[in-house]
Structure 1
């Protein structure tokens, strides 16, 4: 029996997380969960989540304190990749956030991936229109915990911009260019994706190289896997290599329907138009979506239960 590993990164919203876990509970799935070390997570929280699985194994991986934009995001992913790859053999590893939900039944999802066993599912993203996309690879970001989210409000964001500009200007004067020195290719993809076993084993085997290359990069979680695939000549295995510009008409190759055009990203609600939009996404072949808040959208929660019920397509 080919099994799947679901790898979930979460930092709260445990009722929402419990709903996600219950939808993934299947004899062909094991579920690996990373909880941000900065988040409060009690033994009771763990017990409640554990009770959501009847058919799968739920494995809690070593926790990392995650700071947006820093290398700690890769460390958390590596904790999931490493633990899952050591635990067993899986045909696919699906990286999800705790506020994702499936849009299809597990039978439909398994059947789809059985037909694409050698493919890599990432949403490749454009580098155009934002100089930071290049600078975050070209120049070092020396203080990984310092990001636009470190200090709240407009003043915090303004301070980060000033700091980052200063950091880049100094490195320009010193003629630092990591693109040339480390042979880095400006390329990025959405963090979330689905990967066959050989790709995950490659990522885990390359952990030291990844750390050396990206530990002082800004938002490196969007670049380390695409860069590794490019370096190893594996981009030809992408299920879809079209670039996403975060527009509604763009196809998202990771098969996660994420609404960037109405929000950052948009949180689905109980509005009929949201339900209809997600249903259309299902018809287009999307398997997952984010982001959800099941506490504030009980009607949509019921709809997701209907879509993901065994036998539904």
Structure 2
């Protein structure tokens, strides 16, 4: 059974901003570290909506809502306010932490996450957008907190509306990221900007 030293979670609009050789060398030099964000950024952006993600039960989320903005979404959130009013807070006994869902983690942490599947299901079933919560909360107050380093991903968030904070699309003006040692990946790209980055990375590789 083969195991890898590192596992990287990337979106379909992520792209490396370093050569394969540079990426391999970086992780070889930083073996044992986990590159995962744990911060209060999400909570400070919109505290009320942040708490609604996990303190109450989103029973309609998986079956009727998903990513769609429909009547069931409003019913679902209304039910959460009712739950809050009557005193339901399902996370009183755990420490909720948050951060980006994109990461580069080593095999040790990966096995720890997989071995705690039941704990994750118990505390995060019927929550909303828990992909930005469950790993950070799981490892809170464990030895893994001492292994954490910066996320290695460049993301520039912009507000598209009051409740929609999203990464902007990168352009040729962002090619400077290739020279920044703290970033191995970035998001998000169009097909044109991805092509520009690929060409510049290949050019830098030929100069190594």
Q: Does 1:274 align with 2:174?
A: yes
Structure 1 contact 100–292 (Cα < 8 Å) conserved: yes
**Separation in structure 1 between the aligned mates of residue 182 and residue 194 of structure 2, nearest angstrom:** 23
Instruction: Identify the residue that residue 18 of structure 1 maps to in structure 2.
Output: none
Structure 2 contact 56–83 (Cα < 8 Å) conserved: yes
Instruction: Identify the residue that residue 178 of structure 1 maps to in structure 2.
Output: 90
**Number of aligned residue pairs:** 199
Structure 1 contact 103–304 (Cα < 8 Å) conserved: yes
1:1-313 alignment, distance < 5 Å: 87-125=1-39, 126=41, 127-130=43-46, 131-145=48-62, 146-147=64-65, 149-151=67-69, 156=70, 159=71, 162-180=74-92, 183-239=93-149, 253-261=150-158, 264-269=166-171, 271=172, 273-276=173-176, 278-279=177-178, 282-295=179-192, 298-307=195-204, 309=205, 312=208
Change (3 A) 1:144 1:188: same
Which of structures 1 and 2 has the larger relative contact order (alpha carbons within 8 angstroms, sep 6+)? 2
The answer for unaligned runs of 5 or more in structure 1 is 1-86, 240-252
TM-score norm. by structure 2 comes to 0.83
**Separation in structure 2 between the aligned mates of residue 311 and residue 142 of structure 1, nearest angstrom:** 55
The answer for unaligned runs of 5 or more in structure 2 is 161-165
Structure 1 contact 100–291 (Cα < 8 Å) conserved: yes
Runs of 4+ in 1 over 6 A off after TM superposition: none
Change (3 A) 1:94 1:310: farther
**Separation in structure 2 between the aligned mates of residue 215 and residue 310 of structure 1, nearest angstrom:** 48
Q: Cα distance, 1:188 vs. partner?
A: 0.4
Q: Cα distance, 1:298 vs. partner?
A: 3.8
| Larger helix percent | 2
